[in-house]
Structures are given as structure tokens and as C-alpha cells.
Amino acid sequence: MSKLWGGRFTKDTNELVDRLTSSIGFDQKLAEEDIQGSLAHVQMLSEQGIISGEEASLIRKGLIQVKEKMDRGELEYSEADEDIHMNIEKFLIDEIGPVGGKLHTGRSRNDQVATDMHLYLKKHTQTVIELIESVQGALLKQAEDHIYTMIPGYTHLQRAQPVSLAHHLLAYFWMLERDKERFLDSMKRVDLSPLGAGAMAGTTFPIDRKRTAEILGFSGVYPNSMDAVSDRDFILEFLSASSIMMMHISRLSEELVIWSSQEFNFIELDDAFCTGSSIMPQKKNPDVPELLRAKTGRVYGDLMGLLTVLKGLPLAYNKDMQEDKEGMFDTVETIEGSLGLLAPLIGSMNVNTDAMKKAVTTDYSNATDLADYLVKKGMPFREAHAVTGRIVLDAIQKGLVLLELDLNHLKEFSPLIESDVFEAVSPETVVGKRDSEGGTAFSEVEKQLSLAKEKLKLQEQG
Ligand code: ARG
């Protein structure tokens, strides 16, 4: 019987069963973490006198040799050996003989796999945080260059009130900041060691869980062995944080797609980040933001998939949980790839300030300010709203914008209107005067920028 657990079996496993139960096709991505976990375990076993120092050093050397051979592509994984844990154990025994079989003392694949996943996610959460910061940096840089560039602000995708382009871009900076906080917070839970929980009930060997946690760089251990091998909420948190972040990235991408259309023409994406059409020679397509928008769907799918896998499982470990991996790897690769592209995409985009200027000077997005102007001259807001509405309608019918209307004509709508009205509804005033905290006024945007810079700098240092 060639299986590591073959002792109580009388037949070989059906080949189709091997195919169904095997996870080596995907969990080989955990090879590094698996060896890292084994090295810590074997060190602790010898420190505790559970195996001899000599045995431990043989196993340690063997594991390192296996790792080197794996890196050189000299070892072939076998489906019959099911998963990365048993493949590595097999390689180890091939390498150093039966003493390799002592490695699994006081351990189960159940705590082993959970440990691998914690190590893997801890490493990648750190990478994701750094990548988020690079996107924030790109947004910040563009914002710095465009404090005084004005752009229509939209609600219902209808022009609402003009804003500073920096204000618009910084909105995404803060969304990403919260995304980062979510990942950082989830770290508290990823940073726990399940190792030593055994199959689920602990072990009779005098192991030291705190010691393996310490060697692996975890800040603590799961206090309950059943919980340690049963839950995958640390992955769900990663997938949830990723889903929310991808939702933000998708919205930003959608804006980049719209802004780069000929109709808007607010930005031009760099050629290096666009693609062409096989039939229409004039096309320059924003494939990158389109795909970032679409990839959001697969991350949501990964989250829904794992939530569904876990929802009906009794304690403790169930084989169902092997299905936790592909979605996690997929999300890690998807979000790292997406963030990695988004930073240079934003950094290299060209802002068409002329088109933006034209947009804010040829629309009615200063209508609120005309109403506010009347209010400041003593008219109740509700009445000012109605008067302004009539003026806007009149202007639309004449094909003019508010700034183009004649003062005498305006006075027919309200005698309160005087020559200072034009200054009051110019885009510069309209944006510049919205200086309530967090508003779009240039002065407020400057404050926001320094706050954002401080945040980013603090994190880079910390
Ligand atoms: N490949 C398994 C997984 O990923 C490892 C744990 C298997 N444990 C077991 N008792 N079959 O979940």
C-alpha cells in the first residue's frame, strides 16, 4: 500500500477518487509555507525532547534538500499522494529514510494546512497593503498636480456641482485607506498559530505551541484546538476586504473608462496601458480598467464560494475545507495583479484640462450657487430654488449658460440680482467657496492633501 495512511486499507483507491480528493494540483503553492511550518515543528519537537537532536537535524537537512530540489524542479508531485503535505513528507522519507516519518509526530494535516494558510495569507496581506499604498501614491501625485483643475461633479451621472479634480481623485485615496485598514485589522486574526491543535483535540505529546508560534513569527496561538482546525474565517475576512476593495477599484475603473471616451475626453490613458482593435484601426481601448472592473466579479465569487462551502459544516475539520484554497489563491493573484497595474495606469494618465475647463464653464452646475446668492440677499431658499429653476429653463431655451445671460434680463426674474452675480457663479468661486470641512474648496483640498500625504508617509515609515 503506497499511501501514507494505507495501513487499514485492503485495496488501492479508485483512480477517480484520487482525482477528486487530490489537491496537489493547486496546494503546491503552499510548498514554501509547508516546509517553513515543518521546520518550526521539528525544532520544537527536539527542544521538547520528543525526538532527539540528531533526528531533528537529519529531518531539518532533509527538508532543506527537498526544498532545493523542488525549487530546481527536480521533484515530481504525485496525485496519489493527495496534497502538498503528504507529497513533501514522501519526498522527505525518500531523501533521509524512515526517520523522516518522525516529522509528523504530534501533528495532523489539519493543523498543518491551517498553519500553511495563515503563513501564506500573512505574507500576502502585507504585499497587498504595500500595493494599495502604491495606488494611493499615484492618486496623490495626480491630485497634487490638479488642485486647481476643475471638473463637473456628478450625481445620477448628471452634472451637479463643479469640484476640484484633486478632490475627486482623493475620494478614492480615502476609500483605499479604509480598505487598507480592513486588511490591517484582519492581520490580527491571520497572525495566530493553529499549529499543535492536532487533528482537532490536541495531542498527548508534550508539545509547546507558543514556541512554534514564536519560531514562525505569529503573535499568538488559537486557544481552542477545535476552533483552530475548523474555521476559515481568517480567509473570509481577507476575501471580504478584497471584495470591498475591488468594488472601489471597479468604480474608479468605470470612471476611467467613461472619462477616456470621446464623449467625455477628460483623460487620455497612456498607450502602454491600452489595446487596439483587430478590425477598427482608429480604436484605442481601455482594456485595463475594463478588466479590473470585471475581475471584481471573480473576487466576489471567491468570497461567496467559501462562505457557501463553510455554512453547513459540523465541527471540526471536514474535507470540504480543502475547497478553501483555489478561491484564496485566485483572489490573492487577482488583487495583487490589479493593484500592480492600477498604480502605473493612474500615474501615467494624461489629464485633459482644456476639456474639463470647457465642461465646467458650459453647464448649469453653478445653479445651486445662484440660488445661494439670492438667499444671501435675503430670499428664502425655497423661493430662490424656484426662481433659479426658471432662470435655468430660460437659459436652456435660449441655448445659453447662466454666465452668458444679460444682467437686465436676470433682474426680470428677481430685482435682488446685481452685477456681482457673475462673480458669484463663476466656477472658481463656486468651487473656491465650498470651504466647509472636507469640501471641495481649494483651501480645503490643500488641507486634505497634506493629511493624505501624512497618512501615507506614516505608513511607509511604520
Ligand atoms: N489537503 C487537505 C486540505 O487542504 C489537508 C488536510 C487533510 N486532512 C484530512 N484529514 N484529510 O484541507
Using one digit for the tens of pLDDT, what is the confidence trace for 291-319?
999 999 999 999 999 999 999 999 999 99
Decide whether any atom of ligand 1 lies within 6 Å of the 232 Cβ.
no
Out of 105, 127, 155, a domain closes at 105
Q: What is the position in ligand 1's atom list of the atom closest to the CA of 82?
A: 1
Q: Name the residue of 27, 79, 87, 110 whose CB sits within 8 Å of the most ligand 1 atoms, as the mutation to test its pocket.
A: 110
What average pLDDT does the segment 416-444 reach?
Answer: 96
Per-residue burial over 421-460, b if 16 or more Cβ lie within 10 Å, else e, is beebbbbeebbbbbeeeebbbbebbeebbeebbebbeebe
Three cell numbers written together for 83: 496534497
Range of the domain at 375: 362-453
Total tally of structural domains belonging to the chain: 3
Decide whether any atom of ligand 1 lies within 6 Å of the 113 Cβ.
yes
Q: What is the CATH classification number for the domain harbouring 89?
A: 1.10.275.10
Decide whether any atom of ligand 1 lies within 6 Å of the 84 Cβ.
no
How far is Cα 264 from Cα 267, in angstroms, rounded to an integer? 8
Same domain, 189 and 267: yes
Query: How far does residue 313's CA lie from ligand 1's centre (Å)?
Result: 15
Same domain, 268 and 342: yes
Cβ neighbours for 147, distance < 8 A, ≥ 6 positions apart: 164, 166, 442, 445, 446, 449
Beta-bridge mates of residue 220:
192
Determine, yes or no, domain membership for 356: no
Q: Name the residue of 319, 325, 329 whose CB sits within 8 Å of the most ligand 1 atoms, as the mutation to test its pocket.
A: 319
Same domain, 398 and 340: no
Decide whether any atom of ligand 1 lies within 6 Å of the 21 Cβ.
no
In the prediction, which pLDDT does 120 show?
Answer: 98
Same domain, 78 and 123: no
Same domain, 321 and 344: yes
Q: pLDDT band for 1, please (50, 70, 90 cuts).
A: very low
Out of 351, 377, 407, a domain closes at 351
Determine, yes or no, domain membership for 461: no
Q: What is the CATH classification number for the domain harbouring 135?
A: 1.20.200.10
| Residue with CA closest to ligand 1 atom 4 | 322
Q: Which amino acid is at 404?
A: E
Query: How far does residue 418's CA lie from ligand 1's centre (Å)?
Result: 79
Same domain, 63 and 189: no
Determine, yes or no, domain membership for 428: yes
Q: Name the residue of 86, 113, 328 whose CB sits within 8 Å of the most ligand 1 atoms, as the mutation to test its pocket.
A: 113
Contact present, 95 and 51 (Cβ < 8 Å): no
Out of 351, 376, 394, a domain closes at 351
Instruction: Check pLDDT > 80 for residue 461.
Output: no
Same domain, 169 and 94: no
Same domain, 41 and 122: no
Determine, yes or no, domain membership for 395: yes
Decide whether any atom of ligand 1 lies within 6 Å of the 110 Cβ.
yes
In the prediction, which pLDDT does 256 show?
Answer: 98
Decide whether any atom of ligand 1 lies within 6 Å of the 292 Cβ.
no
Same domain, 373 and 427: yes
Which of 335, 328, 287, 290 has its CA nearest to residue 307? 328
Same domain, 297 and 338: yes
Determine, yes or no, domain membership for 6: no
Decide whether any atom of ligand 1 lies within 6 Å of the 411 Cβ.
no
Query: How far does residue 321's CA lie from ligand 1's centre (Å)?
Result: 8
Query: How far does residue 329's CA lie from ligand 1's centre (Å)?
Result: 17
Instruction: Check pLDDT > 50 for residue 227.
Output: yes
Same domain, 185 and 274: yes
**Is the pTM for the entire model greater than 0.85?**
yes
Report the catalytic residues: 156, 277
Give 158-210 pLDDT, tens digit per residue: 999 999 999 999 999 999 999 999 999 999 999 999 999 999 999 999 999 99
Instruction: Check pLDDT > 90 for residue 283.
Output: no
Determine, yes or no, domain membership for 398: yes
| Residue with CA closest to ligand 1 atom 1 | 83
Give 104-148 pLDDT, tens digit per residue: 999 999 999 999 999 999 999 999 999 999 999 999 999 999 999
